[in-house]
């Protein structure tokens, strides 16, 4: 193994940060070790809480679900662009250009805004983080990247800025062009690094999304 290994995944737990619309992570012990030779649990949660993977089926009925995604699309070179932003920031093409990274077809492009600490602290202002500009989404599509990843709750507009006419333009631009999305990553630890990344969503038939374990190896 060439370099240090990083886990880029936020932990799932009953007290994890989520929203009213998505609901909580729930775990029930069906059989415990006090009365049995083994423990058996049941879990229930929405597919878009915590560190998760968005398949094109999230917005497009005719496009790939989680179970349709080829395995070869789930590992590759990743660049982690450090774009420290505060509340309601906007990530632009210039941020990638200033990073010095050459973005190649098939690359995973991750954006570290420093917001993962808010998630770990269960700070509800986590949902007021940065988003990608429409120009950046188009730029990433034109370069045929494989996956876009963020340490915020969404590639789109912060939740508290979404009015009744909100349209998820960034999701739609990326997913309609088969650029997959991962949200709620732990990226502070790898800011500015180049990694080999393995992203393995739970293989759920016909699903729009899934929890994903994301491992990065420094190159």
Give residue 118's pLDDT: 95
Give residue 9's pLDDT: 98
Query: Residue 138: inside a domain, yes or no?
Result: yes
Burial class (CB in 10 A: 0-12, 13-18, 19+), 75: middle
Domain count, the chain: 1
Structural domain that includes position 177:
5-11+47-218
First to last CA, the chain: 10
Query: Residue 32: inside a domain, yes or no?
Result: no
Centre a 10 Å sphere on the Cβ of residue 94 and count the other Cβ atoms it contains.
12
The CATH number for 114's domain is 3.50.30.50
Give residue 130's pLDDT: 94
Query: Residue 29: inside a domain, yes or no?
Result: no
Contacts 24+ apart (CB under 8 A), 15-23: 15/122, 16/49, 16/50, 16/122, 17/119, 17/122, 17/123, 17/124, 17/126, 18/46, 18/49, 18/50, 19/49, 19/127, 19/159, 22/46, 22/48, 22/49
Q: DSSP for 6-49, please give it.
A: EE-BPPP-TT----TTT---EEEEEE-TTTSSS-EEEEE--TTS
Query: Residue 36: inside a domain, yes or no?
Result: no
DSSP character for 218? E
Give residue 219's pLDDT: 87
Query: Residue 21: inside a domain, yes or no?
Result: no
Give residue 189's pLDDT: 97
Query: Residue 199: inside a domain, yes or no?
Result: yes
Query: Residue 40: inside a domain, yes or no?
Result: no
Query: Residue 103: inside a domain, yes or no?
Result: yes
Give residue 1's pLDDT: 54
Residue by residue, pLDDT tens for the chain (219 residues) are 569 999 999 999 999 999 999 999 999 999 999 999 999 999 999 999 999 999 999 999 999 999 999 999 999 999 999 998 888 999 999 999 999 999 999 999 999 999 999 999 999 999 999 999 999 999 999 999 999 999 999 999 888 888 888 999 999 999 999 999 999 999 999 999 999 999 999 999 999 999 999 999 998
């Amino acid at each position: 193994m060439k370099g240090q290994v990083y886990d880029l995944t936020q932990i799932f737990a009953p007290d994890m940060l989520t929203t009213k619309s998505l609901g909580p992570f729930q775990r029930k012990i069906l059989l415990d070790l006090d009365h049995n030779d083994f423990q058996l649990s049941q879990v229930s949660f929405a597919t878009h809480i915590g560190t998760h993977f968005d398949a094109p089926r999230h917005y497009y009925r005719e496009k790939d679900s989680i179970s349709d995604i080829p395995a070869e699309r789930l590992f590759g070179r990743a660049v982690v662009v450090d774009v420290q932003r505060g509340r309601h920031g906007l990530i632009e093409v210039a941020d990638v250009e200033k990073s010095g990274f050459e973005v190649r077809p098939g690359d995973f492009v991750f954006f570290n805004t420093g917001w993962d600490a808010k998630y770990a602290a269960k700070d509800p202002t986590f949902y007021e983080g940065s988003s990608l500009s429409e120009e950046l989404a188009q730029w990433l599509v034109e370069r045929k990247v494989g996956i876009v990843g963020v340490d915020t709750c969404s590639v789109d507009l912060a939740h508290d800025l979404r009015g009744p006419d909100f349209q998820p333009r960034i999701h739609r631009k990326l997913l309609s062009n088969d650029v997959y999305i991962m949200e709620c990553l732990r990226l502070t630890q790898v800011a500015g690094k180049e990694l080999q990344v393995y992203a393995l969503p739970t293989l759920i038939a016909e699903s729009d999304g899934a929890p994903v374990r994301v491992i990065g190896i420094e190159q």
